[in-house]
Amino acid sequence: MSSTFSKMPLAALALFVAAGLAVAPSAEAAGNRGGGGGGHHAGGGAKAKPQVNHSRTDKRANNVRSTSVNNVNVNKNVNVNVDNNRGCCNNGWDNDYHPIATAAAVTATVAVTSAIVGSIVNAPPPGCVPVNYGGYIYQQCGSTWYQPQGSQYVVIAPPY
Amino acid sequence: MKQRRRLLGLLALSLAAPGAYAQTAAATTAPAATAANLVDPASVQALKDMGAHLQTLKRFRVTTELSGERVLADGQKLQHGASATMDVARPDRLRATMRSPRSERVLFFDGKTVTLYTPAQRAYSTVELNDTLTGLVEKLENRFGIEVPLSDLFVWGTPAAPLDKIESAMNAGQDFIGDDLCDHYAFRQGQLDWQIWITTGAKPLPRKVVITNRSDEARPQSVSLIAWNLNPGFNDSVFRFVPPKGATKAEIVAPKAK
């Protein structure tokens, strides 16, 4: 029983990776940069606190098939992994990773070609708009999505 | 000599077999009779008492340290940590600061609107939500896929915590959490096995919760340690969100229900 559960998200993930890679290069070129006023980007608060850096994280660490759950009463998809077609799992408050937030080289400038899923930039291009999905903030720039990660941003496949 | 022993062995086996068969047959038909006995009423009552006591707490600060697990494609597990501090005024006020390696987020709720603010992005989303804390945790989850830390705290002791779904309940003895002597209980319901450590005495409070997710054979588990301050110093202004200078509003997108 559980083995059928565990196979489903794997397949979904594989699809997800493939789709994300295919889409990425052209996405940034499309000037369709959300309807956002103000060039708000680049991590705000100048905090002294050290930031996490996941640039050396192994890709396998993001290939997640299921997670723990944090509550007994308000349960969502504990039994079946159908909550979305992207990763797996539920959006626990502790669980702010994204299945494809895996590392590549850090690029100093945001070149058009850098918007490959998994690539990391120091700041998203101007004109991105913040979007709250599942309780986490992403920066959307047209069809390219960035997930904040410490003081940097990882290009991810669209979360929805 | 050898042959005789083998023969004897065979005989014993053939004799034993029918008995073994009968036993397993009995075991598969028995559960109906024993199902009721799996639920120890005193353990369920302990949950009720704790829930009732939780509902009497009007103002408190609760902090939690959580360890969660992710199961990778091949079954290997990774553990991660997170922590949260929550200022609560019943029935309908909450400020929750949630910290994990990748982000810090603050949830504000004043009984009418709920705001989720991400300081590093200076981005916030606000939604009208006229409800109690019990309604808040349920609606945030179901409408927006947002989980409130220790959401069970706002549900235990209300009809939204259905104790009749518990399939197995037992007293697992006593244990110390920090310096607090606790009763340890273990429950099974649906795909979850869960344990709770409740302080002994007339004012039962949960000090630790462990939840094992059985829907994956790797059984990812979360461990939440809970600390209480029942005389907190905050006032009601902590529940109101005032956008800091330069903060931007983020559209909130409801997860695709499927």
Touching A: B residues 34-93, CB under 8 Å? 66, 68-73, 75, 78, 80-82, 84
For A101, the closest chain B residue by CA position comes to B102
What percent of chain A is helix, strand and coil (3-state, nearest 5)?
20, 20, 60
Interface touch B211/A68, C-beta < 8 Å: yes
Find the CB nearest B211 among A40, A69, A84: A69
For B83, the closest chain A residue by CA position comes to A94
Q: Report yes or no: A126 at the B interface, CB cutoff 8 Å.
A: no
Burial class (CB in 10 A: 0-12, 13-18, 19+), B1: exposed
Q: What is the pLDDT of residues B174-218, one digit of tens each?
A: 999 999 999 999 999 999 999 999 999 999 999 999 999 999 999
Give the DSSP per-residue string, chain A. Answer: -HHHHHHHHHHHHHHHHHHHHHHHHHHTTS---TT--S---S--S---SPPP--TT--GGGG-EEEE----SSS--SSS---S-SSS-S---TT----TT----PEESS--GGG--TT-EESSPPTT-EEEEETTEEEEEETTEEEEEETTEEEEE----
pLDDT at A48: 67
DSSP-derived pairing of the beta strands B103-109 and B248-249: unpaired
For A6, the closest chain B residue by CA position comes to B216
Within B30-75, residue ranges assigned H as helices are 31-34, 41-56
For A35, the closest chain B residue by CA position comes to B251
CA B154 centroid distance within chain: 11
Report the mean per-residue pLDDT for chain B. Answer: 89
Q: Tell me if B97 sits within 8 A of B110, measured CB to CB.
A: no
Q: Tell me if A70 sits within 8 A of A93, measured CB to CB.
A: yes
Q: Is the peptide bond before B232 cis (omega within 30 degrees of 0)?
A: no
Residue A113 CB coordination number (10 Å): 12
pLDDT-derived band at A151 (thresholds 50, 70, 90) equals confident
Instruction: Give A43's contacts in chain B (Cβ within 8 Å).
Output: 120-121
Q: Indicate the pTM of the whole model.
A: 0.76
Touching B: A residues 31-90, CB under 8 Å? 38, 40, 43-45, 47, 52, 54, 60-61, 63-76, 78-80, 82-85, 89-90
pLDDT-derived band at B20 (thresholds 50, 70, 90) equals very low
Find the CB nearest B120 among A43, A66, A90: A43
Average pLDDT over residues A50-54: 78
Q: Report yes or no: B218 at the A interface, CB cutoff 8 Å.
A: yes
With pLDDT > 90 as the criterion, what percentage of chain B qualifies?
Answer: 80
Average pLDDT over residues A45-61: 74
Q: What is the pLDDT of residues B222-241, one digit of tens each?
A: 999 999 999 999 999 999 99
Is the per-residue pLDDT at A23 higher than 80?
no
Instruction: Give A61's contacts in chain B (Cβ within 8 Å).
Output: 72, 78
pLDDT at B132: 97
Instruction: Give B98's contacts in chain A (Cβ within 8 Å).
Output: 93-94
Residue A49 CB coordination number (10 Å): 6
Q: Tell me if B116 sits within 8 A of B148, measured CB to CB.
A: no
Rounded Cα distance between A77 and B63, Å, is 26
Rounded Cα distance between B224 and B146, Å, is 18
Rounded Cα distance between A7 and B110, Å, is 43
Residues whose CB is less than 8 angstroms from the CB of residue B255 and which lie 6 or more positions away in sequence, other chains included: A83, A84, A91, A133, A134, A160, B144, B145
Interface touch A78/B190, C-beta < 8 Å: yes
Q: Tell me if B59 sits within 8 A of B89, measured CB to CB.
A: yes
Is the per-residue pLDDT at A76 higher than 70?
no
Rounded Cα distance between B254 and A34, Å, is 18
Interface touch A5/B138, C-beta < 8 Å: no
Strand blocks (E) in B73-191: 77-89, 93-100, 103-109, 113-118, 123-128, 168-177, 180-189
Touching B: A residues 134-153, CB under 8 Å? 134-137, 139, 148-150
Touching A: B residues 129-188, CB under 8 Å? 137-138, 140-142, 144-152, 155-156, 160-162, 187
Listed range (A61-70, B105-114, B180-189) with the worst mean pLDDT: A61-70
pLDDT at A90: 62
Is the per-residue pLDDT at B76 higher than 90?
yes
Distance from the Cα of B202 to chain A's closest Cα (Å) equals 24
- Choice between B58 and A102, residue whose per-residue pLDDT is larger: B58
Rounded Cα distance between B107 and A137, Å, is 13
User: What number of C-beta contacts closer than 8 Å exist between A and B?
Assistant: 225
